[in-house]
Structure 1
Amino acid sequence: MAGLRVLDLTRLLPGPMATLHLADQGAEVIKIEDTGLGDYARTMGPGAAQASAEGKDSPFFRMLNRNKKSLRLDLKQPAGVQVFLRLAAEADVIFESFRPGVVDRLGIGYEAVRAINPRIVYCAITGYGQTGPWAHYAGHDINFIAMSGLLDQIGTPGSAPAMPDFQIGDLLGGCLTSLVGVLTAVMGAKATGRGSHVDVAMADAILAHSVFPLLATQTPDGLAPRGEGEMTGASPGYAVYPTADDRYLAVGAIESKFWQTLCTALGLPELATTDMTNAAEMKHAREALAMVIKTQPLAYWKKTLVPLDCCVTPVLRLDEAVNHPQFIARQIIVNETGLTQCAPPFKLSHWPQTERRPAATAGADSAAVLQAVGYSADEIETLRRDGVI
């Protein structure tokens, strides 16, 4: 993506993760923060206090902002707006995550930029989008997955909804969905010279990907209660089972060949013909599997079932996952400047991964970024003196 210039006005997780993917593939990403607190992520997350004591940004910030340039800019000053528009005139993509209308009030919205750069792709990431009765409401990941019906489906029968330690709305919705929209629009801009405003609502994205729950609502039985759906606990071939040492085994033996292999290995060949449409038979099979699996520790099942290739895996803790031979072989985990993080989660055969540069300190590239669009040293010094940068 060398040659793609991206202006990133976003903070925290969704937008910075999206622009991280672009930066890792060679795009020039200029992270623009205000001259006050800037991106709150610099002081948030596990390890932030220790990092601050050492004069560093938080691990959370450093993990999401490698390979980016940093510019501090006061967009509440007219001179700051002019700096932004000058940068935008030569940019390909802009990401922002303010509430609807904020960028327009600042004078840097899509229409203002399109007037000077018709090919701009301008992506707005919000919780509920630019339109609709909830457009101006604030929210976080828990709110978006709650509104879209996902949170209600996570958990065990009779329990309260379980909060996942994975920001599904932020990452599926705010990050990956925005990238699909942006790259679609970038291709269109290259072909026609006309860019696009990309309106991404994280709640929309979750709902749009809720394939099986949405299908279930259109069946005579409707959507199953929490923890009782075909993919959430009712099926014995797609479930989580406790082991003797209070660990867990994940079974995904949906296809009959995998289910038959698993039943035979567990000494339960009679269950191989279980009718997976009969609730009573499924319940009996699940209880039988649970009794057998509970007799041995996780290490035993890893040794005996995983090699059979019947879609059975241990439920690993994250500290175990990052040290697993599979992920090590894939080189997905990297440790740079004392920070364990993930490399891009895909491999391109013709373009090896680019060199990774650590996240920049706030405003570290301000002068270089402005020089690249024609500002003189005297002009930059004036902007700095006036608190614009």
Structure 2
Amino acid sequence: MAQTRIAELATVISNQTAFVDQYLQAHGISSPSFDAEYNEMTTPPKEITASKNAILEATEELNSLIAGPVGYLTSLNTTIVPVFHAIYRWNLASSFPIDGEASFGDIAAKVGVPENDIKRIIRMAKTHRIFREPRDGIVAHTSVSKVIATVPLLNSWLGLITDEIFPAFTRMVDAIERWPNSQEPNETGYNLFTNQFDSYFGGMKNDTHREKRFADVMTFFHAGGKWERAGLIEFYDWNSATEGVVVELGGSQGAMCVDLARHFPKMKCISQDLPDVVADVEVPKDLTDRVEILAHDFFTPQPVRDADVYLFRWIFHDWSDKYSVLILQNLIPALKHGARIVIGEVCLPGPKGNVSHVLERRMRGSDFTMKSCLNGSERSAKEWEQLFASSDSRFKFKGVATVPGSRYSVIEATWEGDSPA
């Protein structure tokens, strides 16, 4: 008799978990635990990444199958939202020492919230493995609550999620009905939730708390950015550009250009961003002859002509097609024949899917965030191709290559028109 799907999944989980466990033991790495003493690896070793992903995928599918359709739907847990909100708003994870304990009353007094409410919130958080209750009425940390308390940038992420993104999700459908087919950045679920009709980023300029929190979250997510940058440098075939000129648009503080220049000693790199972003940026002294920081708005004509590569990382998903086309069209006066446009972003899978279910959910969750807050979008390969075609027929779409085991893809096109006069 053929093996059933649930038995297949159990075998995958057993085999892959055994491999990970053996690897961790052989290399003296602590086994995953919810104990507060456990310190998570920032980046899992490459040798176990595939196994880790296989375990996550198989356990998620097995859990869903065993629950059944009704059980699966009714177990989708929305209680994490108020739990996150309370932890962030009242700084619960930092309300008692990392290696200590506190009563519900102690925590309530510290944060100024009624004890009964603290009790029910923390006991719900326990079901999500945030905090533990070693004795009746006494609270201690788990590895999950500890990381919230010890990584301030993660706490900022909780705030962004609960104060801005989740509320924007609740009005996304309303925004779609109110502004059908809108591509405007100020016609979103976030605008309906806040009842303010500047764009998401426009409104942030007048709110220093939001601006700092968003910057903290970007710092948190790009803490692994060095790996991402290294992956792009090694994964993409830079060929002739290694002795040419690369321009990164929206390059923030210029970290990518610095990394490129260090890796390719004959490459010149120009990092562009808005004036207030680049005002105080200093280039490392040993690279001042090959790395330049330039103030530029990518919605205006590109001032650097004849570069070999124009690079964008995590830019286009912030913008609808209407504005993404403008970004590409503003390159055209500067493009020489054969110039490459290289984009590092998510590429959504097709209908049959070419990524794991868990990874696709993350990617489409990002797409929902872009839609709800910015009217931007993540795009599929077909949509990337169409974006270039809509911008100018002289762009030749070259394709998409996905970094193995990652949601990060490299999208490439070349300019087949004439060089600028």
TM-score scaled by length of structure 2: 0.23
Report the TM-score, using the length of structure 1 for normalisation: 0.24
